[in-house]
Chains A and B, each alone.
Chain A
Amino acid sequence: MTGVRTLNMSQAINEALREEMARDAKVIILGEDVGQFGGAFQVTKKLLDEFGAERVRDTPLSEAAIIGCAVGAALMGYRPVAEIQYSDFVACGFDQLVNQAAKIHLMSGGKACVPMVVRLPIGAREHGAQHDQSPEAWFMHTPGLKVVIPSTPYDAKGLLKTAIRDPNPVVFCEHKVLYGTQSVGGRGLPDQAVDSIDPGYQVPEEDYQIPFGQASIKRNGKDLTIVATALMVQRALRAAEVLAAEGIEVEVFDPRTLVPFDQEALIASIQKTHRLLIVTEETLTASSSAEIAAIVAQDAFDWLDAPIVRLGTPDIPLPFAPTIQEAIIPNVERILFTARDLVEKRI
């Protein structure tokens, strides 16, 4: 492969945006500080210089207007990409996303569609309960929205291109730690996940798309399937490395898109490993992991040799304190001992 570079996720998403904007004049960017400032996480860096202020639009601090404006432009044939500075703030524009964007296709009898992407920086970074959430399940519960959650720069680029070209509203969840950048004015990230050896960070210059509903097996194994999303994929891979030395072969399954979900591939993996551990950063109740567990319990029950186990963050608003975040967000150690318990039949 020619033109393969090591990129972090911020750079990979930036490249996808640049290529899509160059390819299609209808792609525009809306958001707070996305222009000269380059976005809070530098994801839209320098796009203003290349495409101008008409297409890379700094907005007032108005999430309802940002998302609603994207809906209106999408109805008129544009393909807006709206950046919400932190996923938590999407709550301020919730109606436009869940009642308008998500429902217009059905409500219009299929006559109108809303091709737009809402980019949401998710995940904990020691900022506290209003900046650190992983709210992807909010959107899984809203029919009409597709939900994407990449774990590597390679996937992020290919998935974002698919998202921009999709005729439906897509919620694109980007884990802030995986960006590999620090926020402007911020310090280094607590969990530097950029790993130049990981093939997921090798991103080709060429145009490629990753289809929705197609999971990625990040590591093959026969003893246990670990389903993980976003940053937890990286932690599951590190745990798998340790477990391999102990003779436990873990399959790391990254769904990449929660809606649509690659049920077929997951069931195939369970048929091979007969054990399932689901690790996401979300608070546990009614999370994506609950939905995934329900799918497997219903459709692959006979293949299971052990109960389905979920790891997540306990059901509390997440405090900013590093001591607390380290103690309660799933980490490599917790994945390790839970995986051992599952494989060695202590659960």
Chain B
Amino acid sequence: MNEATQRVPTIYIVDDDDSMRQAIALLLRTVGYTPVAFARPTDFLDKYDPDQHACLVLDIRMPQMSGLQVQQQLNRHGAMLPVIFITGHGDIPMAVQAMKDGAFDFLTKPFRDQDLLDRINGALKQDAENRAAIERLADLRRRAESLTPREREVFGLIVDGKANKVIAIDLELSERTVEIHRANVMEKMGARSVAHLVRMHLTLNQQ
């Protein structure tokens, strides 16, 4: 993935209706977004790049594959792409299902352009947060993996709230050696305090 595609968000549009798809794409281009539109859900699923900062505007009613099925496919592949559904009159039960399946929001046709733009903004913000959270976790994992087995042991004991003296006795090491391990753990993890280290430990073990 390159930095540029990461930063400039893509707004995917999937709608089988030519006019509606064209209208949404035109609106988004006019306000400066980069829309990528698909008439067929399968084409979208083929081309969709999970590394791209993006959100999806998805018609709920399509003949080939419904919007709900598209969302379920995305969920199955662990995609975190925020989805904004476009629904018609009488699609409320489908919209309810979509929200249950984790949709970001839905809009009923016809809608105010500002409502769509607001939701796209919100969806992109959520996508950015999701990506940042995943990046933070990956960074934390990398740091944790850089610890030596001994440092990992010391890490666990610090988090348990044990003092250096106690750790030294537990591990049959000199207090001085424990101090060095402790300094290494703090340094490698980038921890500012023991409390910070405890939070990192919790985050790592939540996953």
* A and B physically associate: no
